[in-house]
Amino acid sequence: MVAKLSITLSAIFILSAFSSFNTLANEKAPINSCGNSTEAIELVRLIQQDTEQQRGSIRCNLTLAKAAEAKAKLMADYGIVRHNLGGSPNSHLEETGYKLPHYYGKDFNSNQVEAIAGGYTDAKRVWHAFKQSKEHRTHLLGEHEFYVEQDEIGVAFINDYSTPHDEYWVVYLTKGFQPDQVYQGDIEAAPNKSDMILHIENDKPVFKPEPSATNQK
């Protein structure tokens, strides 16, 4: 009787351990349309629920989450954190099938939709760093009339410890296309954060322009 009880308890323990393993494994998989991982989804929550958030609501969009994951993987493949990687952020979204309002920038460096970072291990750390950058916080918290109308988000987080930055973050926060859209503000004054990147150097956040033909710093 004791032997049977011991076997039964052992079986229960094994099943419980297997169940816990599956739960942990599934946490790394896509969970919903907000992001590609639990950390990505946590960043969405932090952006949505920040007390300084100027938008009334922000909803998740699966196309944006997939586009963010593709961009994060591309940055990891190249080992760099860069907006203009195979085209501008605005054009990247258009190419993935997410149609932007007609008044969004069409130039090679147009970026009114993307925030990126490298070297941050979790959502809280990268969100804190984003908020220290004027350009990033203005976009992500909707602190400009152009940005405040943006209401769809998708986030990705990739970690690859064989690459220079280890962790790669991409946030797409934007407004989708609708017929007869009109921007009420001065479109000439619309922000464009094409050259701002965020990464870690010597355990400190660094904000600086992207490398270009004239600026390799």
For residue 159, what pLDDT is reported? Answer: 95
Contact 143, 59 (CB under 8 A): no
The mean pLDDT value for 146-167 works out to: 95
Reference 129, options 117, 143, 111; nearest CA is 117
DSSP strands (E only) in the chain: 59-60, 114-118, 152-159, 167-174, 196-201, 204-209
Q: Is 181 exposed, middle or buried (0-12, 13-18, 19+ CB in 10 A)?
A: middle
DSSP string covering 51-108, please?
A: TT--SS--EE-HHHHHHHHHHHHHHHHHT---S-SSS-HHHHHHHTT-PPPTTS--ST
Structure tokens at 74: 């591309």
Is the predicted pLDDT of residue 3 greater than 50, yes or no?
A: no
Read off the pLDDT band of 195 (50, 70, 90): low
Work out the pLDDT band at 32, boundaries 50, 70, 90. Answer: confident
CA-nearest of 49, 210, 32 to 116 is: 210
- Per-residue pLDDT of 105-129, as tens digits, reads 988 889 999 999 999 999 999 999 9
If pLDDT is split at 50, 70 and 90, which confidence band does 18 have? very low
Q: Which of 77-91, 145-159, 170-184 has the lowest mean pLDDT?
A: 170-184
Q: Mean of the per-residue pLDDT values for the chain?
A: 79
Element (H, E) at 26: helix 2-27
Nearest to 141 by CA among 34, 69, 49: 49
Query: Which residues lie across from 198 on neighbouring strands?
Result: 207
Give the residue from 87, 63, 74 showing the smallest Cα distance to 153: 63
The DSSP H or E segment spanning 49 is helix 38-49
Over residues 35-93, the pLDDT tens digits come to: 999 999 999 999 999 999 999 999 999 999 999 999 999 999 999 999 988 889 999 99
Average of pLDDT values for 181-198? Answer: 64
Domains and CATH numbers, the chain: 33-209 (3.40.33.10)
Confidence of residue 203 (pLDDT cuts 50, 70, 90): low
Instruction: Please tell me the pTM assigned to this model.
Output: 0.76
Q: What is the pLDDT of residue 180?
A: 64
